[in-house]
Structure 1
């Protein structure tokens, strides 16, 4: 089985440790054949150079990021396949500037992630405090509506952590919205976008993986393709729980997972 990890960060985003080389070396140590570098995009929805220095890299850093990954891709050729990826926020109102800017670079893949709804971070622990039961449902449905819109945008090969809103609010999973989740998985399948199994839930209050086993079972039912990403913000987490994820996917009934090179899908047997 080709081993890969498509979701890694480094110091440029302002909330991860280590440089790109550290993550590549960690990938080699973890016996990966493929390592994807996928730091957060700059925030293009503002004219400021770096409005959120603890969340995303400065705009001027994007070209340096690409140059460094491409340089290391060449240096490590024959040792490990280094892929140029990026994790892009999805804001419908800013989608075209993201699409236009990212199209200028030779990304192997782009991960599309919804990190905010109603102008509030999905990881904000306090966002739920004043909401009634109906508003809980509305916030969950809006999250999945945005994920559907991101799938239909055509901007992404992979959708990131599709139930990460549970990260700092574990009760999110119990909010009734099964129809919204099924509609979202059907949309993702029809758009032929992959979802990642992201093992970074252990760094949040929810624990576990994104998405849950239950959602992965529904994803299999609807024919959604899957990939793997540790979402490592520290080098030691590269490839974290990859074997466990593969085993669970086989148990559910998946026979393969995918990664992307030059935006072309490569299927790997589980």
Structure 2
């Protein structure tokens, strides 16, 4: 079973390729299941005055869902399309997030933390925000948000759970307790996580999460899926062979899949 559950498309503003181009590319590379999972519209910052091209406009959300489900039907029998959303967890916006998630018949919703307040810690244009900050305090704030995301009940799995390391800004101290507390929150709330292979093309040059966190997740019995986090069709499936090999080395034998907000495990 060959799957890729994390992809982004032209509507989000910082990716290229239509949804159909991704579906056709998925067929070309032999994917059995393709997850469409574009970013939730921005809720807590004004798109007109914030950094440009961060997420799809709110008016595009219903069009995204309609097109994705049409493609799911159109290509049935050639590729199994799963319609998802990367639903940013933003503290203080829980009611708005819940309304979006409840409004559509998603196959799955990824819970990802990108924002600490108005700072998008995953945006290369905002790395200056690290200047003068206590890195351990930033990591603590980030993992606190991950734990809160787990407790909402909004999500099916947590995306790139240690993405805070993306640009290589790491504290001098031991972040293991913070990471493990986040994984414990995942387990306690019955969620899965993903192995997001895109970290290999980031400054940190390591998948999300690290091998150590993967081993801890296996120990805790946390289910896991995989995604390329592709932002262009030619990157669909990128590094997923390496991801599967890493999972096998760690000891995983199954991957989580999602349809209609229900999880099913498959051998890989």
TM-score relative to the length of structure 2: 0.93
Shift of 1:200: 1.1
What are the Cα deviations for residues 11-65 of structure 1, in whole angstroms up to 9, with x where unaligned? 1010001100111111112211100100101113357789654101111100000
> 3-state DSSP class of the match of 2:132?
coil
**Of 142-151 and 51-60, the range deviating more from structure 2:** 51-60
Query: How far, CA to CA, are the matches of 2:99 and 2:49 in structure 1?
Result: 19
Specify the alignment match of 2:81 in structure 1: 82
- Shifted more, 254-263 versus 241-250: the winner is 241-250
2:129 maps to what in 1? Answer: 127
Q: Across the two proteins, how many residue pairs are aligned to each other?
A: 265
| SS of aligned partner of 2:265 | strand
Q: 1:50 to 1:25 in 2, by over 3 A?
A: farther
Give 3-state SS (helix, strand or coil) of 1:21's partner: helix
**Where does residue 264 of structure 1 map in the other structure?**
262
Give, in whole Å, the separation in 2 of the partners of 1:76 and 1:174: 50
Q: Deviations over 1:126-147 (max 9, x none)?
A: 222212xxx2111101111110
**Secondary structure in 2 matching 1:92:** coil
Q: Which residue is equivalent to 1:251?
A: 249
Pair 79,182 (structure 1): closer, same or farther in 2 beyond 3 Å: same
Determine the C-alpha separation between the residues in 2 that align with 1:192 and 1:152: 10
Q: What CA distance in whole angstroms lies between the structure 1 residues aligned with 2:145 and 2:117?
A: 11
Distance in 2, Cα, partners of 1:47 & 1:137: 29
Alignment of 1:206-217 (within 5 A): 206-217=204-215
Residue aligning to 1:107? 106
C-alpha root-mean-square deviation of aligned residues, in Å? 1.7
Q: Which runs of 4+ in 1 moved over 4 A?
A: 46-53
Tell me the distance in 2 between the aligned counterparts of 1:77 and 1:49.
38
Is contact 1:151–1:188 with CA below 8 Å preserved after alignment? yes
Which 5+ residue runs of structure 2 have no aligned equivalent?
none
Alignment of 1:37-52 (within 5 A): 37-45=36-44
Residue 72 of structure 2 corresponds to 73
CA drift of 1:98 comes to 1.0
Distance 2:144 2:138 in 1: 10
Cα 1:186–1:71, aligned 2, differ >3 Å: closer, same or farther? same
The corresponding residue for 1:97 is: 96
Q: Matches of 1:154 and 1:57 in 2, distance apart?
A: 23
Maintained 8 Å contact 2:151/2:185 = yes
Q: Deviations over 1:192-233 (max 9, x none)?
A: 111111111133211221111111111111221110111000
* 3-state SS, counterpart of residue 155 of structure 1: coil
SS of aligned partner of 2:193: strand
Alignment of 1:1-270 (within 5 A): 2-45=1-44, 53-123=52-122, 124-131=126-133, 135-168=134-167, 170-172=168-170, 175-270=173-268
Q: Distance in 1 between matches of 2:150 and 2:172?
A: 24
Question: Is residue 14–residue 53 contact of structure 2 (8 Å, CA) maintained in 1?
Answer: yes
User: Aligned partners of 2:48 and 2:129: how far apart in 1?
Assistant: 28
Aligned-pair CA distance for 1:174? 5.4
Structure 1: gaps spanning 5 or more residues: none
TM-score by length of structure 1 reads 0.93
